[in-house]
């Protein structure tokens, strides 16, 4: 089974495809490419500063007149700019699964050298 490791798509045949990003995408015409921008639903690391007093916004050292100690940590945060619900995200997943299944069906039917593999008008 295919797997992505360190920006490389590794196939069961041991063939490796170097990726610029870390994901694959399929278009409505069933063309495959890299999904470059994780801008719909993604995970990112956010830096946070710790040791601040939540009431005053200052560190304990600052409140005593000393130079503050700044402690930075990374925290994983979910990015969902469109405020998609679980059901909407599952609908998107189902849509993409259908496209991948359509590609597999077309490959079985036409092979990988026939232009009929692709859905020219974006529909089946």
Q: Are 33 and 27 in contact (CB under 8 A)?
A: yes
According to the model, what pLDDT value does residue 49 have? 77
pLDDT (average), residues 37-59: 75
Label residue 69 by pLDDT band (50, 70, 90): low
pLDDT (average), residues 53-68: 59
> Longest C-alpha distance within the chain, in Å?
75
Mean pLDDT of the residues in the chain: 86
> CA 1, CA 110: separation in Å to the nearest integer?
22
Q: Are 61 and 69 in contact (CB under 8 A)?
A: yes
Q: Are 11 and 2 in contact (CB under 8 A)?
A: yes
pLDDT (average), residues 76-98: 96
Six token digits for residue 84? 């998609």
Label residue 74 by pLDDT band (50, 70, 90): confident
pLDDT (average), residues 42-65: 67
According to the model, what pLDDT value does residue 55 have? 60
Label residue 26 by pLDDT band (50, 70, 90): very high
The reported pTM is 0.73
According to the model, what pLDDT value does residue 37 have? 85
Residue 54 above 90 pLDDT? Answer: no
Which 3-state string (H, E, C) describes the chain?
A: CCEEECCEEECCCCCEEECCCCCEEECCCCCEEECCCCCCCEEEEEEEEECECCCCCCEHHHHCCCCCCCEEEEEEEEECCCCCCHHHHHHHHHHHHHHHHHHHHHHHHHCCCCHHHCCCCCCC
According to the model, what pLDDT value does residue 87 have? 97
């Amino acid at each position: 089974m295919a797997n992505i490791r360190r920006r490389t798509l590794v196939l069961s045949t041991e063939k490796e495809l170097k990726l610029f990003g870390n994901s694959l995408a399929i278009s409505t015409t069933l063309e495959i490419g890299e999904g470059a921008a994780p801008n719909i639903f993604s995970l990112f690391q956010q830096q946070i500063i710790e040791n601040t007093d939540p009431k005053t916004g200052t560190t304990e050292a600052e409140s005593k007149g000393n130079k503050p100690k700044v402690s930075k940590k990374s925290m994983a945060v979910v990015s969902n700019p469109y405020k998609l619900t679980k059901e909407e995200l599952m609908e998107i997943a189902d849509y993409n699964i259908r496209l991948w299944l359509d590609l597999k069906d077309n490959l079985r039917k036409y092979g990988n050298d026939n232009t009929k593999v692709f859905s020219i008008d974006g529909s089946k």
